[in-house]
Chains A and B, each alone.
Chain A
Amino acid sequence: DIQMTQSPSTLSASVGARVTITCRASQSINTYLAWYQQKPGKAPKLLIYKASTLETGVPSRFSGSGSGTEFTLSISSLQPDDFATYYCQQYYSHWTFGQGTKLEIK
């Protein structure tokens, strides 16, 4: 089974800051990686798929990169609505989520 490891687990940042979340796969997954945003009590929302393709309607301040085993999600200028938990997920071999990164207001 492919394991996904996100870092950091918690990230504190201010409105307007740029942040980056890292996701590592235990083996190569090509670019078959998605990022989701989840707010408390809500379903996850797809942000990015194929490592770097922005889902329709997602603001352009979100971006993704990487291939193989190392991936990043960046938010260029944090907005109040962006404080949430973010999950990566590989879909190269079945489906596995990272443990999540909680983005908190500093």
Chain B
Amino acid sequence: QVQLVESGGGVVQPGKSLRLSCAASGFTFSNYGMHWVRQAPGKGLEWVAVVWYDGNNKHYADSVRGRFTISRDNSKNMVSLQMSSLRPEDTAVYYCAKDIADCTSGACYAHLDYWGQGIQVTVSS
């Protein structure tokens, strides 16, 4: 069965960096895009970043572009999120999620089908 397990969260001061990791199992990792989605306390879901199955394409939300970097290691079935210049508004539970693409129309459109349990990141002095 698909399992996604996040690690690396914690409390960090504003302006500092933190690296989240997500270990994947139960599927052919190198065939699927991987995402990070976050949820601030008491708020809704916010999509953060995606890395394509081969690691060659990455996209970011405007709120994190230039500060966060998503990467993957297909040999280790791992996806990571390097977070720099952290701000209090980055405080959230961070989820990694696997996508599945529908390419029947010629272009591909991918929704998120499995999620990790989430990990807390708190940015505070």
Contact = CB atoms under 8 A, between A and B. Distances in A.
Interface residues of A, number: 24
| Chain B interface helix/strand/loop/mixed | strand
A43 B118 contact: yes
Which of B46, B62, B110, B111 gathers most chain A CB within 10 Å?
B111
A55 B109 contact: no
Interface residues of B, number: 21
Main secondary structure of the interface of A (DSSP, over half): loop
Interface string B87-115: 00000000100000010000001111111
Contact of B111 (A42, A49, A87, A100): A49
A92 B109 contact: yes
Interface of B: 35, 37, 44-47, 50, 59, 62, 95, 102, 109-118
